[in-house]
Amino acid sequence: MQFDFKQIFTAFMVLFAVIDIIGNIPIIIDLRKKVGHIQSEKASIIAGVIMIVFLFLGKSLLSLIGIDVNSFAVAGAFILFFIALEMILGITLYKDDGSGAMTATVFPLAFPLIAGPGSLTTLLSLRAEFAIENIIVAVICNVIVIFIVLKTSAKLEQILGKNGISIIRKVFGVILLAIAVKLFAHNIKALFELA
């Protein structure tokens, strides 16, 4: 076990940027309006477990079902693309199937919003560079930050107000759309190179 603060900090910052929990505040608020209560603890823990399990089993799990990392990322890009369209255009593509808060806590909040294709593919690339124990610490630190943001999102909504949320939602929608396009372009290019 070799804990390296520099590795932990770098992995934390990379994951924090990819997960973009601050940018997801408008989506979290929107989800809460659709389904009522969101279980912050459960969403954070599920996202953390998904990320740590994927860190160990990701590549072998994907190759077992015959999917490469690039195909996985392209599929994730589509999900992010549609979430971004919802944010920018104010339309509803994600329909609540009536299963309520528990389903919303797991999907789309824990997966693919927090532990999404972006963060999962990032974990695979971090694993090639950093010691696994440092990545695990970075994931746990991110989960703590995610929990705090989920827990205080109602207060943040009050501080920002309706117009503030609307502006942030549209701005982050465009950013999310750009991330989806970048993720799609980078991975579709890699897929064509493999073909």
Tens digit of pLDDT per residue, the chain (195 long)? 789 999 999 999 989 888 888 778 878 888 888 887 889 999 999 999 999 999 999 888 888 999 887 887 788 788 778 878 888 888 877 555 555 566 778 887 888 889 987 788 889 888 878 999 999 999 999 999 999 999 998 888 788 787 887 887 788 788 878 878 888 888 888 888 876
Domain containing residue 157: 5-194
pLDDT at 99: 52
How many domains does the chain fold into? Answer: 1
For position 97, what pLDDT does the model report? 52
Rounded Cα distance, 159 and 173, in Å: 20
pLDDT at 100: 57
| Residue 95: predicted pLDDT | 56
**What's the pLDDT at 44?**
96
Residue 135: the pLDDT is: 95
pLDDT at 57: 92
Give 161: exposed, middle or buried? Use CB within 10 Å, 0-12, 13-18, 19+.
exposed
**pLDDT at residue 28, rounded to an integer:** 86
